[in-house]
Amino acid sequence: METARGHIVIGITGGIAAYKTMTLIRLFKKNGYEVKVVATPHAMEFVTRTTIETLSQNPLYVDLFDHSKPYDVQHIALADWADALVVAPATANIIGKYAHGIADDLLSTILLACQKPVFIAPAMNDKMYEEPSVQQNITLLRQKGCMIISPNSGSLACGTAGTGRMQEPEEIYQDVVQYLQKPQPLSGKNVMITAGPTYEPIDPVRFVGNRSSGLMGFALAETAAEMGAQVTLVTGPTHLHCQHPNIRRVDVETAEEMYQQCMLVQAQQDIMIMAAAVADYTPADPAPEKIKKKDDQLQLQLTKTKDILASIGKVKRENQLLVGFALETEHERENALKKLHNKNADMIVLNSLRDKGAGFGTPTNKVLMITKDEQTFESELKSKADIAHDILQVVCNML
């Protein structure tokens, strides 16, 4: 018997576009995927059990407590079985429930139990689609890591025209398959990434910090996860959100906390990339209460923090790859090389603040990568996501 190319769970909710989902089931089946379908009771107003079961060649799941099926905790079993979950059509109702963690039927319960890629193809009336709470819920789902397959505009079943028509089954199929077939050169690898600034407390309300946005570290985490890695992202304070389900985020504030968290997991990592702008000094004796305004001058005593990159460089094993960043304003290459060797890294990514559009706070970057045998790779000014891709490509080649 031929093995399936993958397992797809298709969720159908109550919208007229449900009839098009029959073509989607057919497309996956025709191309060698195994398909199981979960429909809400409202979806069953639009399509029939016989059609779904005939096309998918599997029993249809509708009830959370279905006593006719062999004993199994269905929502867990289906979430585990799936390589990807596709909800098409997705009504405003299922989008709202999933965005807010509500699980009151089989499909919404599976969604919460699923740690695989989830694709959502919204379909509804244009006014409903544009309604602010629906848009906010879609944003929440994107932040959770769902892939939203945006609806088309055109004439809608309710007689009006606008945006809200479910994307065509062929497009949905292509989006899912392209995602599943992306090369995963970091599959099976553990990658730790540090990101963002650190905040060093002066008193309970003030801190010493820096202008790092965390964008570069987050872009590296996303890209590494897309390349198949299990990512631990140790991040200082930032407003950024992680998208990918394979990213475990650890929030820290100070250099000491970042050091502790990194040391805790470093031994299990294959690759470690230190993109955080860690404070080099921290107030020696933070005040327990808010410092009141008194004299004309205030002296702050600062002490050196632990260097995380250098500490890991001291303990790292032969088969672990360590990458540092160097942010320089002068003698860039010379300083970067010093950091590379002094901290025992395998590669250093040099940012020059003299390059416009590179470094802190910008959405773009321009870097020079230098390996420990002093091979260099240059990346032109481009988005931090593209730079992350270049860095990880060099890392993959070094592996």
- Strands 200-201 and 207-208 come out as antiparallel
Site for ligand CTP (CB under 6 A): how many residues? 15
Give the separation between CA 115 and CA 12, rounded to whole angstroms: 19
Ramachandran category for residue 361: left, alpha or beta (phi over 0 → left; psi -120 to 50 → alpha): left
320's enclosing H/E stretch is none
Nearer to ligand CTP, 229 or 308 (CB): 308
Give the separation between CA 48 and CA 37, rounded to whole angstroms: 12
Site string for ligand CTP, 276-315 (x = CB under 6 A): x-x-x------------------------x-xxx------
Nearer to ligand CTP, 40 or 351 (CB): 351
Nearer to ligand CTP, 74 or 371 (CB): 371
Give the separation between CA 105 and CA 68, rounded to whole angstroms: 17
Is 158 designated active site? yes
Nearer to ligand CTP, 96 or 236 (CB): 236
| Residues between 66 and 125 with contacts to ligand CTP, criterion CB under 6 A | none
**Quick check: 72 and 59 in contact, CB under 8 A?**
no
Cα Rg of the chain (Å, integer): 25
Question: Smallest gap, in angstroms, from Cβ of residue 198 to ligand CTP?
Answer: 8
146's enclosing H/E stretch is none
Give the separation between CA 17 and CA 24, rounded to whole angstroms: 11
Q: Does 340 bind ligand CTP (CB under 6 A)?
A: no
- Please identify which of the residues 146, 158, 242, 396 carries the catalytic annotation: 158
Name beta bridge partners: 34.
7
Nearer to ligand CTP, 181 or 342 (CB): 342
Site string for ligand CTP, 171-200 (x = CB under 6 A): -----------------------x------
Q: Does 325 bind ligand CTP (CB under 6 A)?
A: yes
Q: Tokens in use for 102?
A: 């509500």
Q: Does 390 bind ligand CTP (CB under 6 A)?
A: no
Question: Smallest gap, in angstroms, from Cβ of residue 194 to ligand CTP?
Answer: 6
Nearer to ligand CTP, 243 or 344 (CB): 344
Q: Does 352 bind ligand CTP (CB under 6 A)?
A: no
Nearer to ligand CTP, 55 or 308 (CB): 308
Neighbours of 76 (CB within 10 A): 13
CA 301 to each of CA 2, 135, 203, 255, 277: distance values in angstroms, whole numbers, following the listed order: 70, 49, 13, 16, 21
Question: Smallest gap, in angstroms, from Cβ of residue 355 to ligand CTP?
Answer: 15
Question: Smallest gap, in angstroms, from Cβ of residue 183 to ligand CTP?
Answer: 27
- Span interacting with ligand CTP, options 212-220, 221-229, 322-330, 371-379, rule CB under 6 A: 322-330
Could you tell me which residues come within 8 angstroms of residue 49 by beta carbon, excluding any fewer than 6 positions away?
A: 60
129's enclosing H/E stretch is helix 126-130
Among 326, 347, 358, 387, binds ligand CTP (CB under 6 A): 326
Give the separation between CA 274 and CA 277, rounded to whole angstroms: 9
Q: Tokens in use for 131?
A: 């309604």
Please identify the residue of the shown chain whose CB is closest to the bound ligand CTP. 308
Nearer to ligand CTP, 129 or 325 (CB): 325
Question: Smallest gap, in angstroms, from Cβ of residue 349 to ligand CTP?
Answer: 8
Q: Tokens in use for 355?
A: 């390059």
- Span interacting with ligand CTP, options 19-27, 129-137, 158-166, 270-278, rule CB under 6 A: 270-278
**Quick check: 49 and 60 in contact, CB under 8 A?**
yes
Question: Smallest gap, in angstroms, from Cβ of residue 246 to ligand CTP?
Answer: 22
Question: Smallest gap, in angstroms, from Cβ of residue 348 to ligand CTP?
Answer: 8
- Span interacting with ligand CTP, options 81-89, 93-101, 214-222, 320-328, rule CB under 6 A: 320-328
Closest CA to 214 of 200, 232, 188, 234: 234
Nearest 5°: CA angle at 51, between 46 and 53?
Answer: 120
Q: Does 236 bind ligand CTP (CB under 6 A)?
A: no
**Quick check: 384 and 215 in contact, CB under 8 A?**
yes
Give the separation between CA 129 and CA 143, rounded to whole angstroms: 18
Question: Smallest gap, in angstroms, from Cβ of residue 103 to ligand CTP?
Answer: 40
Residues annotated catalytic, as ranges: 158
Residues contributing to the site for ligand CTP (CB under 6 A): 194, 255, 274, 276, 278, 280, 305, 307-309, 324-327, 339
